[in-house]
Every structure is written in C-alpha cells, then in structure tokens.
Structure 1
Amino acid sequence: MTGSVSQGVIERRRVPAGRSGPRPRGGGRGSAAAPRPSASSRTPWLYLAPALVVLGGLLAYPIYQLGLISLFHYTQAQVSGGEPTTFEGFGNYAELFGDEQFWQVLLATVVFAAACVAGTLAVGCALAVLLTRVRAVPRLALMLAALGAWATPAVTGSTVWLLLFDADFGPVNRMLGLGDHSWTYGRYSAFFLVLLEVVWCSFPFVMVTVYAGIRAVPAEVLEAAALDGASQWRIWRSVLAPMLRPILVVVTIQSVIWDFKVFTQIYVMTGGGGIAGQNLVLNVYAYQRAFASSQYSLGAAIGVVMLLILLAVTLVYLRLLRRQGEEL
C-alpha cells in the first residue's frame, strides 16, 4: 500500500510545472479538438502547385477537345468547311463498338502491352540486381549502355532493329542460320520483333529506378538473408520485392501507360500496322481512322477509350495495393 502511494507521488512530481494532468475522456469544452492540418502538411502542395497548373493547362484542354470531337461528325468535309458539323452524341462510340476490327485490335493491344510490361520489368529488375553484384567498371559500362538505349529516339531504334533483323543483310539471320527469313511478314514474329525493341528502349528506366531502391535497402538485411542460406531468387522474392513494392508500383504503372500506347515502333517496324492490318494496335488504329480515312471523330473516340482504359487500370491497381495495406 505504502509503495503504491509513494509511486503515485513520484509520478505526480514528474509532471512539469504549468502542465495539467491527463484530461477527462468525456465531451464538453474540456475535450481535445480535432487536429487541423498544419501549414507543414500543405507545404508540399505549394511546391507542386506551379507544376500542377502547367500540367493541367497542357492536359485539360486537349482532353476536352478530344472528348468534344468524339461527340460530333467530324471528317475532312467539316475541316475544310464544305459541310456543317453535326452533333452525333455517342453515335461514334456505337459505331466503334459495333466494329469487329476494333475488338480484335483491342485484344491484340492488351496482350502485346502485357507482354512488353512483363519483359521490361523482368529485364530491368534482373539487371538492377546484377549492378549490385559487379565491380565499378562493369557497372559503369552497363549503366552507360543502358542509358544510351534509353536516350535513342524511337524512330532511330526501330530502324536499327529492322536492319539487324533484315531478311537480306541482317546479321541476326546469318548468326541463326535462318537464310532470308522475314521477321515482319508473319503476325507473331513481327509482334515479337517489336516487343524486343520496346523492351530494349524501356528497361533502362526500370533498371535505374530499381537499382536506386536496392541501394537504399540496409546491407544488414541482405547479409542476414544470405547467411540464412537464401538463394538470390529467394532474396529477391522474399526480401527485396516486398521492400521495393512502392517503387515497383511506379515503374509498373508507367510501363503499362507507355506500352499500351505504343505507336512509333509498330508504325515504323511493320510499315503502318503490318500486312492487312495484322499488327495493328489501338494507337496506330486511331491514326489510320483519323488521318488515313479522315474520320477524325472516330479517331478521337478511340483516344477517349484508351484514356479511360488506362485510368481504370491504374485506379484498380492502386486500389488493390491499398487493400493489401500498402501506403502510396
């Protein structure tokens, strides 16, 4: 009894002067008010405000015009002023969704983009781990080579890959003993060739970003996993990947956006979509509808559909991660 009382006295003496003890839990005027957002929590938004204003101006108006054109009958006759513009509502979308070719192109785009994203992430993550295992000179050489591929314009890179796989003069066919095999003639071989070029010019971003994330992981964690006998694959799957998940989310979403709207590689390497349009993707399909056929409203409708698909994929992916308890 005496010990408990003395302990209470000691605790009361520890309360600094001018501060009251714990407040009652009941409501009323004595209850603590809800915390208000401090000025420090608004500071990042103040720094981002100029960039957000610029991006809003660059994106909001084109998206508005894209959606507006998709609701009208807008062809070359309306552009030249020969015929008045008529409001179609969702008629362009009904025509688009009733076109069987649109669904075939959409399926091909989804499969092709998924393969490109998977290949880009696999190559980029593997080379990021490799960078942590090699010495300084090979690491610098690999970084410079990757950045060179990243900095190469899409038209230049596509032309170089066409020359490498050329049926007559390409060194790849000679090394593999394929003779005069044409990689761009078949549908799947042409898609595979474009996939290689897309992965080649996209993996450096994943490699550099993931490598920076790996360098931020404490070395003690990796050493402990290695001492426990974990293989390199097990260390990546059980240690690095969970710790790098926020970074992997960013590179995955950006890869999905980039690869879903591939245009230059397909257009250059397959001659505008391949034989009889067998290698069309949505971006090239929209270009053909808008400019080759002068159906600008249908091309705008395809652009709106692509925008909605990418927004839906991004929001669903982020929602699934939030359900798993990830902070983004």
Structure 2
Amino acid sequence: MTSVTHRKTWTPWLYLAPALVVLGGLLAYPIYQLGLISLFHYTQAQVSGGEPSTFEGFGNYAELFGDSQFWEVLLATVVFAAACVVSTLAVGCALAVLLTRVRAVPRLALMLAALGAWATPAVTGSTVWLFLFDADFGPVNRVLGLGDHSWTYGRFSAFFLVLLEVVWCSFPFVMVTVYAGIRAVPGEVLEAAALDGASQWRIWRSVLAPMLRPILVVVTIQSVIWDFKVFTQIYVMTNGGGIAGQNLVLNVYAYQKAFASSQYSLGSAIGIVMLLILLAVTLGYLRLLRRQGEEL
C-alpha cells in the first residue's frame, strides 16, 4: 500500500520533469547571471575589459533604494499595473459573458476581432494607437473636436493612452479563457438562477464567478505578471518614458540604467527587485486563496 501511494506521489513529477528541465535551463541560468551582476560594479568599462569587476555586495541595492526616483517609478508601476489588470479583467469578463448571449455570426466576428488584436505585435499595436491619437492627423481628436491636443504630453493622459493599448492587446486572453469556462458551466445552473429572478450581474457575482474562480486566478496572475513588466508600449508610445521621465515604469527604468547609462549592475538589481515583487504578489495571492479553501 505504501509503495502504491509513493508511486502516485511521484508520477505527476515524472510527467512534469521534461518541462521542468527545459524551464530550468532557460530561466535558472539567466536569473543566476542577473543576480550575480547585481552584486558587482559592472559598467561599460568592465564589459570592454578596461577595468576589472569589483564586488559590491548589496551596494547596488543600497544605491537603488536610496534613489528617490526609484520609489517614484515603483509607485507609478504599481498603480499603472493595477489599473491595467482591473481594466483587462473587467473588459475580458464582460465580453466573455456577451459571447454567450449573441448569435453565432456576431460571436465569430467578435472572436476574430479579439484574436486579431491579441496576435498583433506590441510595437505594431503601439504605433497604430499613436496614429489614432496623433495631435495632427489622428482621427480621435477630429471626432472629439480636440484640435491639436497631444495625448502623450501630459503624464496622466499618456499613461491613459498606454493603458488603452495594453487592455486592447490583453483582454482577448481573458475573454477566451473565461468564455471557455462559462461554456463548461452546466446550463441547468444558469437556468435555475434566471428562474429565481436573478439579474445578469447577480448571476455573474453569485453563480459564475465562484465557479470560475480557479480560471480567474490564472488570468489574474497572468495579467499581473504581464502588466507589471510592460515595456514595449511605454517605450514606443511615450518615446522612452515620457518628458523628463514622467511615464517611466520599472522595466523602462531598468533599460535606461543598464543600456542608456551603461550601469548594468543597477539595471540587474532592478530586474531582481521586479522578480522578487512578482514572486511575492503571486505567492501571497495563492496563499490567500488557499486560506479561503480554494483548490488550485
């Protein structure tokens, strides 16, 4: 009996072993190198071999945490990522419910349009959105009668414009995943809720959302990871972080430190901080759900 139980315990890990080996090779070594560089004084002089690398320990982290700009960028990143995640989940879930209410042809059209947005490269999508909101030739300003209003000049309007593009290219994943989950819910459950007089919002809040919680956990964590490390949209649409760096997020900030300023050790330190923040948020969220009795 013990051997059978032991075999059942290790069987899933044997199936996962090939994928774990590949992921370990692709992720473990780069993360190790990133952490190693963050502990040294590593600039262009060290890259070219002109000066030897010197061990700094946690000196780079101390310098980073002592920089007021880092905390400003971190706060902006957290707020921006949270807004993107909430907006993406709201749009994706709403359209997933809509897909269950429309006929086959509109449903197919909506699915194709959403998948087209999802398949569009981030650089291409960002360029298209810049054209739509262009101060001189953009159709949005003409329709709204805003004249030559520049959406990328102000800090909040630029963040809002980037948020729209991020949601546009991210909601299809949420929509398709949640729609698949809704289709798996027994129709009798939804019919019973409708016969009891529940509104669509009440059906979603009291019936669908609890049943779809494992799926919502996955799309939420995925959205947090994607939106917290946004780079391309910010870099392209705000021309590298906006005027005087007003639209910097951590990923762009790390790029500027590592490549624009050749401070590779500081850029690596920012990368490690981002990794630890994402791990803490993900593990904290999963632990909270476990405490609430959810099976993940």
TM class, shorter-chain normalised? Answer: over 0.9
Instruction: Please point out which of 117, 121, 125 is paired with 1:149.
Output: 117
Aligned to 1:69: 37
**Matched residues in 2 for 1:124 and 1:41: separation?**
37
Alignment partner of 1:260 is 2:192: no
Q: Deviations for 1:201-230, whole angstroms, at most 9, x for unmatched residues?
A: 000000000000000000000000000000
**Matched residues in 2 for 1:176 and 1:243: separation?**
41
Superposition deviation, residue 42 in structure 1: 3.3
Alignment partner of 1:317 is 2:285: yes
Please list every run of 5 or more consecutive structure 2 residues that lacks an aligned counterpart in the other structure: 1-7
Alignment TM-score, normalising by the size of structure 1: 0.87
SS in 1 for 2:255: helix
**Matched residues in 1 for 2:174 and 2:12: separation?**
26
Q: Deviations for 1:58-110, whole angstroms, at most 9, x for unmatched residues?
A: 00000000000000000000000000100000000000000000000000000
**Matched residues in 1 for 2:119 and 2:16: separation?**
27
Superposition deviation, residue 41 in structure 1: 4.5
Q: Let me know the Cα RMSD of the aligned residues.
A: 0.6
**Matched residues in 2 for 1:172 and 1:255: separation?**
27
**Matched residues in 2 for 1:289 and 1:110: separation?**
19
**Matched residues in 2 for 1:95 and 1:268: separation?**
28
Q: State the identity as a percent.
A: 94
Alignment TM-score, normalising by the size of structure 2: 0.97
**Matched residues in 1 for 2:165 and 2:45: separation?**
39
Aligned to 2:166: 198
Please list every run of 5 or more consecutive structure 1 residues that lacks an aligned counterpart in the other structure: 1-39
Higher helix fraction (1 or 2):
2
Aligned to 1:303: 271
Superposition deviation, residue 147 in structure 1: 0.4
**Matched residues in 1 for 2:11 and 2:180: separation?**
26
**Matched residues in 1 for 2:101 and 2:17: separation?**
41
Instruction: Please point out which of 80, 83, 100 is paired with 1:132.
Output: 100
Superposition deviation, residue 44 in structure 1: 2.8
**Matched residues in 1 for 2:210 and 2:185: separation?**
11
Corresponding residue pairs, total: 289
Superposition deviation, residue 48 in structure 1: 1.7
**Matched residues in 2 for 1:43 and 1:81: separation?**
49
**Matched residues in 2 for 1:277 and 1:326: separation?**
42
Aligned to 1:110: 78
**Matched residues in 2 for 1:45 and 1:298: separation?**
37
Pairwise mapping of residues 79-98 of structure 1 onto structure 2 (< 5 A)?
Answer: 79-98=47-66
Superposition deviation, residue 272 in structure 1: 0.1
**Matched residues in 1 for 2:170 and 2:129: separation?**
14
Instruction: Please point out which of 212, 229, 245 is paired with 2:197.
Output: 229
Instruction: Please point out which of 218, 235, 249 is paired with 2:217.
Output: 249
Larger Rg: 1
Q: Runs of 4 or more off by more than 6 Å in structure 1?
A: none
Superposition deviation, residue 49 in structure 1: 1.2
**Matched residues in 2 for 1:117 and 1:318: separation?**
17
Aligned to 1:35: none
